[in-house]
Structure 1
Amino acid sequence: MKKIYIHTGQHKTGTTSLQQMLFDNRLKLNEEENISFFTTDTKNRVIKNGNTCCWIKINKRNVENDASIVSPEVLAQNLAKLPNDVIMSAECFSWIFDKQELLRFKEELSKFFDEIIIIVYIRRQDKQIVSLYQQRSKKRRPPSNFFYGNEPTAIPMYNKNLDYYFDYNKRISNWGDVFGDDNIIIRVFDKKTLYKGDIVSDFCNLLNIKNITSSMKKNVSNGFEKTKVSHLMSSLGMRNDLRKIINQNLDNNGKLMPSKEEAKNFYLRYKESNKKLNERFKINKLEYIFDEDFSMYSDTSMDVWTEESANQAIIHILQSINDLQAIDYFKLGIKSLMKKV
């Protein structure tokens, strides 16, 4: 009887640390735990960080069908080639909102696996969007632009597209409808509830993996100035080479944070949906899954320029230009020209 564990993320729940641990210990997992970790891309090359998001294609404009699995039949075959039970981890599964896409994936997996287990970690919606939106400021990419925009704020202005991702009940219930509720494991990403307080220990405990050590690697957030300027550069569609030069001079202290009221309002939009998710999947004993402590936020928004902070950012941007040498201008010009050819 062959089993596969599909870890679907979600984003900003320690996925980077988990994937790196699984990759670093893949030989030990195979030899001592009878578990294989899937680490190859669509061209059969090894992915050294363990993130197999390359198997999920992200579209740019069709929200409901925003992501699709690249050649699900080929993916299933590649997964089946591995000995023992298998783990695949790709947080981009969180972008799949089309149930038909999941049905096609299950159909292919079922040809080779007797049991398919879906594992997902969820985070209270306000904390999730603050962290995820900050992360997306680092680089201009779909689907983040289409979902969130590039406003230089802690939380983007609400639009209905956000519901596809942040309505956990609707999104995760699609997986339950396809793979069966008993095969869905939902864990709350919170130090107070995770086994030993971190996702790596929690995941290993779920799968009864023993004697695995790892150093937790954090996907470090940008500071106040760097985040705001990065959002603005994304809104302009600025080239990555120019972004890199400017980013080197930006201050990275502080953090963009919404006000307590803004955070609560975003969370309240999905509170009843969380209740329905808990009623269906019996995640924990809290009625709405998450605690409702908002003390981490202040009464006022911490994402607005002051005269001093705006002037400092302008100086840092101008300094980036001032530091460029003639050869740098030449290189940037050549890169820009080559992209047009």
Structure 2
Amino acid sequence: MSKVIIHIGTHKTATTTIQERFWSFAPEISDRGIVYPLLNHIPGHHGLTALWSPVGDEFELPQGAKATFEQICTDYADSDFTVVLSSEEFSRAGPRGGVNYKELRQHLEAFDEVQVVCVLRQQWSFMQSVYLELSKSISPPRPPVLLTPALNHGVFAGLWADYTMLLDRLEDAFGPENVTLMEFDACRKSEGGVMGSMLRFLGLNPEDEDLKPMMSGASNVSPPALASWAGNIVSEPKAAPAWLLRRAEHYLQQEYGLKAKHCLFTRVEFDRLKEHFDPLNAELVRRRKPYQPDFEFSPASREALSLFREDIGVTFWLHFCRNLAQEILSLEGVDFARK
């Protein structure tokens, strides 16, 4: 019996780590009945989404997306293999980047079974992580600007914040019995973390000696949230360079300690997100109970967080900006101490 499992992300839920591990260990998992297609030089299968939205040149597939779907069906639809396709781009929201899930299902209809697995994280944490990812290449919207579309429309930066809206589309295309949701924090706390959770979902044993190396390390790790924010404030409208983020992190550590737990949002903003999304997440759990009795989604809590955006005070900014000014003036040959 042939099967396809589409891992659709979401973004910033260890997707890069998962894709890199499956890419590296494709031969080992193939021996166990799992195929992770090596479509090009990119570990993730982002090029498959080109049928619905533009992808970067580096993600384009040699045969094109449609022909690649056809080839996957030809190679595996009559086999007993389980094919895993993974790209967080499958979880983008419309109108510009949304995948047509019914069309996606049709491209894989030659398989006996098509399932979807999706990892979700608390909205405040998800939005914070996306902000940090955007910061690597652009000057992102300031945090308060992210809140308005998320609260009013359930979407921010082209991504779903209201997960019930995403679930509507998945269930409509694949059937509720073929959708599996996982909570990011629960996966991260489980044995083997998110990678271990994904292996167990696929029926693989993380303790398998050949697969144990898949469990090591993490990819695409972002800097502390408020270091990125401070660097962006100074650098906007351009993206903050890595050296500036390191400098901001240094002075934040000096001012607030090494163990401070950052939150990009203010306490008021955090509470607005919690008040809005906790009931929606509870509805998500209720809807999944007939199909996933053990699925839970914990209410948002700021108990473990110690440093919020409104806590960043004058002393930090004086030290941070004075250091930058001193460096700039020294490059220009000015004696800053006499200024």
Which residue of the partner structure matches residue 296 of structure 1?
304
The answer as to whether partners of 1:150 and 1:231 remain within 8 angstroms in 2 is no
Q: 2:179 corresponds to which letter in structure 1?
A: I
**Are the structure 2 counterparts of residues 138 and 313 from structure 1 closer, same or farther at C-alpha, using a change threshold of 3 Å?**
farther
Q: What stretches of structure 2 of length at least 5 have no aligned partner? A: 55-60, 254-259, 333-339
Q: How does 1:63-212 map to 2 (within 5 A)?
A: 72-80=65-73, 82-83=75-76, 84-97=81-94, 101-110=100-109, 112-140=110-138, 150-151=141-142, 153=143, 156-160=146-150, 163-164=154-155, 165-191=160-186, 195-196=190-191, 198-210=193-205, 211=208, 212=211
| SS of match in other structure, 2:70 | helix
* 1:4-57 Cα deviation digits (max 9, x unpaired): 111011122222221122112111111x212111232xxxx322xx22224335
Question: CA separation in 1, counterparts of 2:113 and 2:330?
Answer: 58
The answer as to whether partners of 1:259 and 1:297 remain within 8 angstroms in 2 is no
Question: CA separation in 1, counterparts of 2:6 and 2:188?
Answer: 21
Which residue of the partner structure matches residue 337 of structure 1?
none
Which residue of the partner structure matches residue 270 of structure 1?
277
Question: CA separation in 1, counterparts of 2:27 and 2:179?
Answer: 27
Which residue of the partner structure matches residue 339 of structure 1?
none
**Are the structure 2 counterparts of residues 246 and 189 from structure 1 closer, same or farther at C-alpha, using a change threshold of 3 Å?**
closer
The answer as to whether partners of 2:187 and 2:194 remain within 8 angstroms in 1 is no
Deviation, structure 1 residue 163: 0.7
Tell me the percent identity. Answer: 18
Deviation, structure 1 residue 259: 4.2
The answer as to whether partners of 2:226 and 2:264 remain within 8 angstroms in 1 is no
Which residue of the partner structure matches residue 55 of structure 1?
48
Q: 1:158 corresponds to which letter in structure 2?
A: T
Measured on the aligned residues, the alpha-carbon RMSD in Å equals: 3.5
Question: CA separation in 1, counterparts of 2:24 and 2:242?
Answer: 29
Task: Report how many aligned residue pairs link the two structures.
Answer: 297
Question: CA separation in 2, counterparts of 1:315 and 1:292?
Answer: 37
Deviation, structure 1 residue 324: 6.5
The answer as to whether partners of 2:36 and 2:83 remain within 8 angstroms in 1 is yes
Question: CA separation in 1, counterparts of 2:129 and 2:99?
Answer: 30
Which residue of the partner structure matches residue 6 of structure 1?
6
Question: CA separation in 1, counterparts of 2:73 and 2:275?
Answer: 42
Q: What stretches of structure 1 of length at least 5 have no aligned partner? A: 61-68, 326-341
Please report the TM-score for the alignment, with normalisation by the length of structure 1: 0.73
Question: CA separation in 1, counterparts of 2:73 and 2:327?
Answer: 51
Question: CA separation in 1, counterparts of 2:327 and 2:9?
Answer: 37
Q: 2:89 corresponds to which letter in structure 1?
A: C
Q: 1:182 corresponds to which letter in structure 2?
A: E
Please report the TM-score for the alignment, with normalisation by the length of structure 2: 0.74
Deviation, structure 1 residue 138: 2.2
Deviation, structure 1 residue 209: 1.4
Which residue of the partner structure matches residue 63 of structure 1?
none
Question: CA separation in 2, counterparts of 1:53 and 1:178?
Answer: 20
Deviation, structure 1 residue 295: 0.8
* 1:302-327 Cα deviation digits (max 9, x unpaired): 355422221233245446656769xx
Q: How does 1:237-252 map to 2 (within 5 A)?
A: 238=238, 243-244=241-242, 246-247=244-245, 249-252=247-250
The answer as to whether partners of 2:34 and 2:82 remain within 8 angstroms in 1 is yes
